[in-house]
């Protein structure tokens, strides 16, 4: 009997099925330090216990995207080992801060399937939830992937298409228990701008740039226990290059966005996301943001809905005249961040 | 007076002498995270406090090989600074789990010496033991190395050849105090296979592959405070390459073996090991295993004796017709792992 | 309104002004482990809780230079974002050990300004102090940098030149509370040499060498939240190289100096320092030391004043006949270390 995991194929997903993912993981001070070594992360709330205590939390939470990657990584062996493409994200909500010492595990419910007309692949939608050791949900999001069929001749399943919100409503964002920005120290945070200082439509060039090395993206991706071989195996692609995990680019762009959004302390929701073009070691990544919306989500707590674009080219470029992403654009992410109102 | 350590030469080893190695080291959450960033490690027991508590331990122990490397690293300045080759391992037993916050130190007893016929080198056997801060032994193993003589004309010592067991008997393996696999969650662990599901002689291709970068193996090797310059100094070899610490390949292969041996949670013994060929950055490493033996070592606790082979080539290749290791084989390790019976 | 930080220019510094730097940071076990993975650090006091307890401390302090880099990193956005050159250090004193879990923040007082005759740049002197979460000062030092003017036509300020000590007097070095070397275990520390065993004028070749990779220096520099783009952005310089943060070379040289100075456990003062030549990935770094002075600073506690030179060439080379640094010399650091008397 074959002992290794061949991954699931399109035929193996049944709407309504709940998949419990393997390998619970305790995340602690070591993961935090590596996150801060791998990305130019400077948001004060996840950098300093003292700052977080002043904001009403029990200490510095681990970076929200560290939680996202840890949960995402668990799903890879069950969801995307035979995936051709990671197509999108929706309805992402960070429900509870995660602290050093918490143990995360994850489940995914299959909420949609649709075979492609070529009959060789299909699209699978899953709603993934990450839990801590107490069983409390810390993160939930929907993603959909294109997956190979084991056998093109398998009959097509009845298509099931989930209804997904265009974006997470501000009212549905979870504000961490106890969080407040009374007496918030803008000097220590690094910039004076409140949510109200940003105009809808405003665009920010985050100025800084980072060139990615193979060792960095592989260390990050392993830390999330993401096993997709295309990230690690230089013999996998004909051109000898290793495809960088899309989440690495998300974290890099989010960290670069500190310069101009230093007070956008918490990622609270993920509305949508596209990995517009593949990223490889040697690419020099820049980021720009656009303010899409603004809301009040608690006393003194504001939220900005932001488009975050990672690019290896000039800022503010997104799509060409044909509506397609510019070849230099790596990421187009639509998310909500919490900050002082 | 010269203040730096020139290392010991063959003449400096006297059978019976006990060498106390320098630099005790506290290993904690940071070392764990780095281990998981440097190797594709996914075994649930050392990944999750919650999982380990369910198995009767006080929390997730640090990875067994992290302990091995830390102890091994301490021996390098005294044992292998002037070594020509690391010849073998025997009688390795992991005696007690190590937890974050423990402090390790190490001693080695010289148990054998034999000059080579060329009179320029000799073989030294040492039994190394690692201890925690309470003085409890956590690991013991024998290794032998070929060491240069300071002066070929020094008289040859009386040869002393230690009697070494062909392999550690299953009955001599230490089962961690409190360990049980009652209610073991195979879903969370990642695979359904118990020890009894593996047949003696069965071989497993672990499928995944990892290309090694210079930064990765150097960071790992430094973390173990292993000072052998051949790993760090690109000017040391004429070809400008840095030789990768053999233990890096052991950890890489062990981590890759998760895929097919996900429940082989604990490395309990090392029976033998050969670094068959040198490994360099740029090599893409794969692993395969062969089941050599099977035993029951406690109530519900089984053990598999496994051959673990790391290769930069095809699986299941080991030796050529001439009995020599295939040039693609990097490691041939014989070890015991504990898992649900 | 522009939201990003353009950095300060020469005109923006007023003598007497105190700048509170952004992003307080909790440093913990993860930062320690990364420090030990990135540098061949082996000093027992910061490696082992057990060893540090035996020396009268509450546990292993974080490496002194880790504290220096963390404090230094905070100053970069305010002091050296538009700096042309980092000119020197003086009056550096480590005032209190920092332990895992402490949170550091920093302030700098402008203590000198002097425009250069070209009117395009000027020199700014700042005295930077790092504090822990209790408000206690843990480190203070002066550094001066050459900074661009925003506009060459801005009127020159009145020059203010601070009076700086040639070096920190031994009597002004802070000995950590409780520190003693009674019963100090020289075997565990790695070498037998006391302060009294070193002669003034003695020079030590530290023998070992390390080749630097891009991923390593970038991970280190990010960990210190140092945002100077020249370290990360391969498109910033015309030659496509990333300039390595000078502090990376300091830590590398200090770690290499273990071999010959294993008992120089604590960096207590920084008298002066010059980054003699730029360092790039691929450089193989060696180190040598010269004993400049020797003192008793407490009962059984000695201090050595040391010149530490990092080079990519032969040991003991420093300056050419013209008095200029040899092109292979990377660092010339003058510091005080504490060790058993």
* Residues of B whose CB is below 8 A from C208: 227, 229, 232-233
Tell me which DSSP letter residue A155 carries: P
Structure tokens at B109: 């007893």
Q: Considering the domain boundaries, does residue B1 fall inside one?
A: no
CB contact under 8 A, A191 and C232: no
- Whether residue B89 is predicted with pLDDT greater than 80 in this model: the reply is yes
Other CB atoms within 10 Å distance of the CB of residue A157: 15
The span from the CA of C191 to the CA of B23, in Å, is: 10
The candidate with the shortest Cα–Cα distance to B335, out of B65, B57, B56, is B65
* Paired residues of A269 in beta bridges: A93, A336
Tens of pLDDT, residue by residue, chain A (341 residues): 689 988 899 999 999 999 999 999 999 999 999 999 999 999 999 999 999 999 999 999 999 999 999 999 999 999 988 888 889 999 999 999 999 999 999 999 999 999 999 999 999 999 999 999 999 999 999 999 999 999 999 999 999 999 999 999 999 999 999 999 999 999 999 999 999 999 999 999 999 999 999 999 999 999 999 988 899 999 998 898 999 999 999 999 999 999 999 999 999 999 999 999 999 999 999 999 999 999 999 999 999 999 999 999 999 999 999 999 999 999 999 999 999 99
- Whether residue C83 is predicted with pLDDT greater than 90 in this model: the reply is no
Mean pLDDT taken over chain C? 96
> What whole-number percentage of chain B has pLDDT above 90?
94
- Whether residue B56 is predicted with pLDDT greater than 90 in this model: the reply is yes
- pLDDT of B82 reads 83
Q: Which of A33, A197, A216 sits opposite C223 (nearest CB)?
A: A33
- pLDDT of B1 reads 63
Q: Which of A4, A100, A223 sits opposite B259 (nearest CB)?
A: A4
- pLDDT of A1 reads 63
CB contact under 8 A, A242 and B211: yes
> What whole-number percentage of chain C has pLDDT above 70?
100
Q: Which of B69, B76, B82, B215 should be substituted to probe chain C, the one whose Cβ sees the most C Cβ atoms within 10 Å?
A: B215
- pLDDT of C229 reads 87
- C294 and C216 Cβ atoms separated by less than 8 Å: no
How distant is the Cα of C298 from the closest Cα of chain B, in angstroms?
Answer: 24
The span from the CA of B68 to the CA of B55, in Å, is: 22
Q: What mean pLDDT comes out for the span B194-204?
A: 98
- pLDDT of B34 reads 98
The beta strands (E) that lie in chain A are given as 18-20, 25-27, 83-94, 102-115, 121-131, 137-148, 203-205, 210-211, 266-274, 284-298, 301-311, 329-340
Place of tokens 């810390």: A138
- List, as ranges, residues 151-180 from A with C-beta within 8 Å of C: none
CB contact under 8 A, C38 and B219: yes
CB of B36 within 8 Å of any CB in chain A? yes
Q: Which of A30, A36, A191 sits opposite C223 (nearest CB)?
A: A36
DSSP for C107-153, written as a single string? EEEEEEEEE-TTSSEEEEEEEEEEE-TTS-EEEEEEEEEEEE-S-TT
Q: Considering the domain boundaries, does residue C38 fall inside one?
A: yes
Q: Which of B28, B133, B242 sits opposite C50 (nearest CB)?
A: B133
Cα separation values, C31 from A248, C8, C51, C77, C112, Å = 20, 29, 19, 21, 33
The beta strands (E) that lie in chain B are given as 18-20, 25-26, 83-94, 103-115, 121-131, 137-148, 203-205, 210-211, 266-274, 284-298, 301-311, 329-340
CB of C58 within 8 Å of any CB in chain B? no
Q: Which of A28, A32, A33, A291 should be substituted to probe chain C, the one whose Cβ sees the most C Cβ atoms within 10 Å?
A: A33
The span from the CA of A60 to the CA of C62, in Å, is: 19
Q: What mean pLDDT comes out for the span C191-200?
A: 98
* Residues of B whose CB is below 8 A from A25: 47-48
Rg (CA), chain A: 20
> Helix axis angle, C214-223 relative to C29-38, nearest 10°?
150
CB contact under 8 A, C28 and A31: no
Give the pairing type, strands A121-131 and A137-148.
antiparallel
The span from the CA of C151 to the CA of B287, in Å, is: 62
> Helix axis angle, C214-223 relative to A29-38, nearest 10°?
120
User: Could you report how far apart the first and last alpha carbons of chain B are, in Å?
Assistant: 59
- Quickly state the pLDDT bin for C201 (edges 50, 70, 90): very high
The span from the CA of A197 to the CA of B259, in Å, is: 51
* Residues of A whose CB is below 8 A from C101: 49
How distant is the Cα of B179 from the closest Cα of chain C, in angstroms?
Answer: 27
Other CB atoms within 10 Å distance of the CB of residue A21: 23
- A26 and B60 Cβ atoms separated by less than 8 Å: yes
The span from the CA of C121 to the CA of C83, in Å, is: 9
How distant is the Cα of A216 from the closest Cα of chain C, in angstroms?
Answer: 6
The span from the CA of C192 to the CA of C198, in Å, is: 11
CB contact under 8 A, B36 and A133: no
Please give the residue of chain A at the shortest CA–CA distance from C106.
A188
- In terms of C-beta density within 10 A (0-12 exposed, 13-18 middle, 19 or more buried), how is residue C278 classed? middle
- Whether residue C138 is predicted with pLDDT greater than 80 in this model: the reply is yes
Other CB atoms within 10 Å distance of the CB of residue A171: 7
How distant is the Cα of B135 from the closest Cα of chain A, in angstroms?
Answer: 26
* Residues of A whose CB is below 8 A from C218: 210, 213, 216
Structure tokens at C69: 């880099």
Q: Considering the domain boundaries, does residue B224 fall inside one?
A: yes
How distant is the Cα of C208 from the closest Cα of chain B, in angstroms?
Answer: 6
- List, as ranges, residues 181-220 from C with C-beta within 8 Å of B: 187-191, 193, 197-198, 204-211, 213-216
The span from the CA of C18 to the CA of C139, in Å, is: 16
Q: Considering the domain boundaries, does residue B182 fall inside one?
A: no
The span from the CA of B112 to the CA of B124, in Å, is: 6
* Residues of B whose CB is below 8 A from C58: none
Please give the residue of chain C at the shortest CA–CA distance from B19.
C187
- A192 and A186 Cβ atoms separated by less than 8 Å: yes
* Paired residues of C288 in beta bridges: C205, C309
- List, as ranges, residues 222-241 from A with C-beta within 8 Å of C: none
Q: What mean pLDDT comes out for the span B247-259?
A: 98
CB contact under 8 A, A47 and C24: yes
- Where helices occur in chain B by DSSP H, the ranges are 29-38, 49-54, 64-79, 186-189, 214-223, 246-256, 258-261
> Helix axis angle, A246-256 relative to A64-79, nearest 10°?
170
- For residue A29, what is the enclosing H or E element? helix A29-38
Q: Which of B39, B50, B184 should be substituted to probe chain A, the one whose Cβ sees the most A Cβ atoms within 10 Å?
A: B50
CB of A39 within 8 Å of any CB in chain C? yes
- For residue C297, what is the enclosing H or E element? strand C284-298
- Whether residue B200 is predicted with pLDDT greater than 80 in this model: the reply is yes
Q: Considering the domain boundaries, does residue A48 fall inside one?
A: yes
How distant is the Cα of C323 from the closest Cα of chain A, in angstroms?
Answer: 37
DSSP for B197-250, written as a single string? GSPTT-EEE----EE--HHHHHHHHHHTT---GGGT-TTSSTT-PPPPPHHHHH
* Residues of C whose CB is below 8 A from B223: 33, 36-37
The span from the CA of B335 to the CA of B267, in Å, is: 7
* Residues of C whose CB is below 8 A from A189: 22-23
CATH number at residue C131: 3.10.129.10
- For residue C301, what is the enclosing H or E element? strand C301-311
The candidate with the shortest Cα–Cα distance to B272, out of B139, B87, B2, B37, is B87
The span from the CA of B225 to the CA of B25, in Å, is: 9
The span from the CA of C163 to the CA of C177, in Å, is: 30
Q: Considering the domain boundaries, does residue C303 fall inside one?
A: yes
Place of tokens 């504990």: B338
3-state secondary structure of C98: coil
ipTM, two decimals: 0.96
CB of A36 within 8 Å of any CB in chain C? yes
Q: What mean pLDDT comes out for the span C57-74?
A: 98
- Whether residue C240 is predicted with pLDDT greater than 90 in this model: the reply is no
Cα separation values, B64 from A314, C124, C169, C288, Å = 48, 52, 48, 37
Q: Which of A60, A187, A193 sits opposite C26 (nearest CB)?
A: A60
The dihedral sign for the CA sequence C28, C29, C35, C41: positive
Structure tokens at A204: 């920010």
Structure tokens at B170: 């299953």
- Whether residue C129 is predicted with pLDDT greater than 70 in this model: the reply is yes
Structure tokens at C59: 């546990």
- List, as ranges, residues 238-257 from B with C-beta within 8 Å of C: 242
Q: What mean pLDDT comes out for the span C61-82?
A: 96
Neighbouring chains to C with at least 3 Cβ pairs closer than 8 Å: A, B
* Paired residues of C88 in beta bridges: C144
Please give the residue of chain C at the shortest CA–CA distance from A258.
C4
CB of B288 within 8 Å of any CB in chain A? no
Range of the domain at A96: 10-153+165-340
* Residues of C whose CB is below 8 A from A312: none
Place of tokens 């300091």: C250
Other CB atoms within 10 Å distance of the CB of residue A232: 26
- In terms of C-beta density within 10 A (0-12 exposed, 13-18 middle, 19 or more buried), how is residue A194 classed? middle
- The number of folded domains in chain B is 1
Tell me: the pLDDT tens digits for B132-189?
Answer: 999 999 999 999 999 999 999 999 999 999 999 999 999 999 999 999 999 999 999 9
Give the pairing type, strands C329-340 and C266-274.
antiparallel
Question: CB under 8 Å to B120, separation ≥6 — which residues?
Answer: B148, B149, B152
CB contact under 8 A, B24 and C50: yes
Tell me: the pLDDT tens digits for A79-114?
Answer: 988 888 889 999 999 999 999 999 999 999 999 999
- Quickly state the pLDDT bin for B228 (edges 50, 70, 90): confident
Mean pLDDT taken over chain B? 96
Tell me: the pLDDT tens digits for B289-312?
Answer: 999 999 999 999 999 999 999 999
- B276 and B327 Cβ atoms separated by less than 8 Å: no
Structure tokens at B261: 């041996």
Q: Considering the domain boundaries, does residue C3 fall inside one?
A: no
Q: Considering the domain boundaries, does residue C133 fall inside one?
A: yes
- Quickly state the pLDDT bin for B5 (edges 50, 70, 90): confident
The span from the CA of B207 to the CA of A236, in Å, is: 12
The span from the CA of B38 to the CA of A285, in Å, is: 23
CB contact under 8 A, A3 and B198: yes
CA angle B232, B237, B239 (to 5 degrees): 115
Neighbouring chains to B with at least 3 Cβ pairs closer than 8 Å: A, C
> What whole-number percentage of chain C has pLDDT above 90?
94
Please give the residue of chain B at the shortest CA–CA distance from A22.
B188
């Amino acid at each position: 009997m074959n002992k290794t995991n061949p991954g699931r194929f399109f035929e193996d997903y049944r709407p309504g099925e709940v998949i419990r993912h393997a390998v619970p993981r305790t995340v602690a001070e070591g993961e935090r330090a590596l996150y801060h070594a791998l990305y130019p992360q400077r948001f004060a709330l996840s950098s300093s216990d003292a700052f977080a205590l002043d904001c009403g939390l029990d200490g510095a939470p681990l970076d929200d995207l560290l939680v996202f990657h840890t949960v995402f990584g668990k799903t890879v062996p069950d969801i995307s080992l035979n995936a051709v493409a990671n197509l999108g994200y929706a309805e992402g909500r960070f429900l509870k801060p995660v602290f050093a010492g918490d143990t995360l595990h994850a489940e995914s419910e299959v909420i949609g399937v649709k075979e492609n007309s070529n009959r060789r692949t299909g699209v699978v939608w899953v709603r993934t939830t990450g839990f801590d050791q107490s069983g409390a949900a810390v993160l939930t999001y929907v993603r959909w992937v294109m997956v190979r069929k084991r056998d093109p001749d398998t009959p097509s399943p009845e298509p099931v298409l989930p209804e997904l919100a265009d974006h997470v409503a501000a009212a549905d964002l979870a504000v961490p228990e106890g969080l407040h920005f009374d007496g918030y120290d803008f000097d220590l945070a690094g910039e004076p701008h409140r949510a109200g200082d940003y105009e809808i439509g405003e665009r920010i060039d985050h100025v800084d740039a980072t060139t990615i090395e193979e060792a960095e993206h592989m260390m990050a991706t392993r830390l999330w226990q993401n096993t997709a071989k295309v990230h690690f195996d230089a013999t996998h692609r004909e051109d000898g290059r290793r495809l960088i995990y899309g989440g690495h680019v998300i974290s890099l762009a989010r960290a670069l966005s500190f310069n101009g959004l230093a007070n956008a302390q918490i990622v609270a929701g993920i509305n949508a996301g596209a990995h517009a073009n593949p990223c490889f070691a040697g690419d020099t990544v820049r980021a720009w943001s656009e303010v899409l919306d603004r809301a009040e989500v608690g006393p003194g707590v504001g939220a900005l809905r932001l488009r975050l674009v990672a690019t290896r080219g000039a800022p503010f470029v997104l799509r060409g005249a044909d509506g397609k992403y510019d070849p230099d654009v790596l990421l187009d992410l639509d998310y909500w961040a919490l900050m002082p109102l």
